[in-house]
């Protein structure tokens, strides 16, 4: 009976088929063949060579030498046009005329300011001379009126009063002309192009 049981088990084992394995899917590297690391042995201390994928790609690109010469040289820059002699002469003449006009205007302006200051100084000189003359007459009259005791006659007092008023008026006129110097200097400062040296 044991023998029959072993025979049954052996038949069952041979009758059941063994499971089959499906082969694994093959994965391909999309970057295979583009950049390959350098596996060449190198001496100690040397850095690993850098891979240059752009260099490898550029090595396979054909460059048109004619286009490269046009693109990478200065031949694409247009040759500057030659200046027109007539136009250059006209521009030079115009600039010369403008410079001469500016110099003429400056000279006329300087002359005007100098004449104004010269006129003020001449009027001041006349006013000071008149002041000295009038005031000296008052001094002479005062000395000859007999003021040693502090008293003068009524007639002499009238004359001395008139002479003193004339001296005061002449002094005031001269002082007004003297003060014009500051006004002229202020006008020069506010006027474009006027130079303070013109008033000296």
Tell me if 33 is assigned to some domain.
Answer: no
Please report whether residue 65 resides in a domain: no
For residue 13, being part of any structural domain is answered with no
Domain contains 45: no
Residue 49, sorted as left (phi over 0), alpha (psi -120 to 50) or beta, turns out to be beta
Q: Does residue 112 fall inside a structural domain?
A: yes
Could you report the per-residue pLDDT of 69-80, keeping only the tens digit for each?
Answer: 555 555 555 566
Q: How many residues make up the chain in this entry?
A: 200
Does 118 map to a domain? Answer: yes
Determine the structural domain holding residue 150 and report its residue range: 90-199
pLDDT in tens, 90-112: 777 788 888 888 888 888 888 88
Q: Report the domain count for the chain.
A: 1
Residue 127 lies in a domain: yes
pLDDT along the chain (200 residues), means of 10: 57 54 62 59 57 52 61 57 75 82 86 90 93 90 68 79 92 93 89 86
How far is the CA of 65 from the CAs of 59, 73, 177, in angstroms? 15, 12, 88
User: Are the C-beta atoms of residues 145 and 162 closer than 8 Å to each other?
Assistant: no
Q: Which two tokens stand for residue 37?
A: 């690391």
Does residue 139 sit within a domain?
yes
């Amino acid at each position: 009976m044991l023998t029959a049981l072993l025979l049954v088990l052996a038949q069952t084992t041979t009758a059941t088929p063994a499971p089959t394995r499906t082969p694994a899917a093959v994965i391909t590297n999309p970057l295979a063949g583009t950049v390959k690391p350098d596996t060449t042995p190198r001496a100690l201390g040397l850095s690993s060579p850098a891979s240059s994928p752009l260099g490898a790609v550029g090595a396979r690109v054909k460059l048109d030498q004619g286009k490269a010469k046009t693109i990478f040289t200065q031949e694409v820059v247009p040759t500057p046009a030659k200046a027109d002699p007539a136009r250059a002469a006209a521009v030079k003449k115009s600039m010369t005329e403008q410079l001469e006009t500016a110099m003429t205007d400056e000279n006329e302006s300087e002359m005007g300011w100098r004449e104004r200051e010269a006129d003020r100084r001449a009027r001041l000189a006349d006013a000071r001379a008149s002041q000295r003359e009038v005031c000296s007459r008052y001094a002479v009259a005062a000395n000859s009126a007999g003021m040693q005791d502090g008293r003068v006659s009524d007639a002499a007092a009238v004359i001395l009063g008139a002479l003193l008023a004339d001296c005061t008026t002449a002094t005031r006129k001269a002082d007004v002309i003297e003060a014009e110097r500051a006004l002229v200097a202020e006008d020069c400062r506010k006027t474009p192009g006027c130079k303070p040296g013109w008033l000296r």
